Amino acid sequence: MQYVVIDLEWNNAYSKKTSGFVNEIIEIGAVKIDEGLNTVDTFSCIVRSQIGRKLRGSVKKLTHLTNDDISTGVPFTKAFSLFRKWMGEDDTVIMSWGDGDIRALLENYSYFCGVETVPFLKYYCDLQKYFQRIKKRRADQQAGLITAAQEIGIDPEIYTHHRALGDSMLTADIFEIIYDENSFKKEVRVCNDEFYSRLLFKAKILKNIDNPLIDKKRLEHYCDSCGARCELTEPWRFSCNFFRASFYCKNCDTAYAVKVRFKKLYDSVDFKKIVTVVNNDPDDEEDDEE
Ligand SMILES: [Zn+2]
The pLDDT value recorded for residue 280 is 57
User: What DSSP state is assigned to residue 229?
Assistant: B
In the predicted model, is pLDDT for residue 288 greater than 60?
no
Q: Kindly give the distance from the C-alpha atom of residue 243 to the centroid of ligand 1, in angstroms, as a whole number.
A: 22
What is the tens place of the pLDDT at every residue in 161-188?
A: 788 999 999 999 999 999 999 999 999 9
Task: Please enumerate in sequence order all residues whose Cβ is within 8 A of that of 276, keeping only pairs 6 or more positions apart, or say none.
Answer: 256, 257, 258, 285, 286, 287, 288
pLDDT confidence bin for 55, thresholds 50/70/90: confident
User: What DSSP state is assigned to residue 1?
Assistant: -
CA distance 28 to 40: 17
The pLDDT value recorded for residue 45 is 95
Task: Please enumerate in sequence order all residues whose Cβ is within 8 A of that of 222, keeping only pairs 6 or more positions apart, or say none.
Answer: 228, 229, 230
Phi-psi region of 92 (alpha: psi -120 to 50; beta: other; left: phi over 0): beta
Q: Kindly give the distance from the C-alpha atom of residue 290 to the centroid of ligand 1, in angstroms, as a whole number.
A: 18
In the predicted model, is pLDDT for residue 290 greater than 50?
no
What is the tens place of the pLDDT at every residue in 19-51?
A: 999 999 999 999 999 999 999 999 999 999 899
Q: Kindly give the distance from the C-alpha atom of residue 252 to the centroid of ligand 1, in angstroms, as a whole number.
A: 4
CA distance 256 to 247: 5
Q: Calculate helix-pair angle for 100-113, 193-200, nearest 10 degrees.
A: 110
CATH topology of domain 2-200: Nucleotidyltransferase; domain 5 (3.30.420)
Q: Kindly give the distance from the C-alpha atom of residue 162 to the centroid of ligand 1, in angstroms, as a whole number.
A: 53
pLDDT confidence bin for 70, thresholds 50/70/90: confident
Domain ranges (residues) in the chain: 2-200, 205-289
Q: Kindly give the distance from the C-alpha atom of residue 248 to the centroid of ligand 1, in angstroms, as a whole number.
A: 8
CA neighbours closer than 13 Å in the CB half-sphere of residue 169:
17
Q: Kindly give the distance from the C-alpha atom of residue 244 to the centroid of ligand 1, in angstroms, as a whole number.
A: 20
Q: Return the SS3 of 119.
A: coil
Q: What is the pTM assigned to this prediction?
A: 0.78
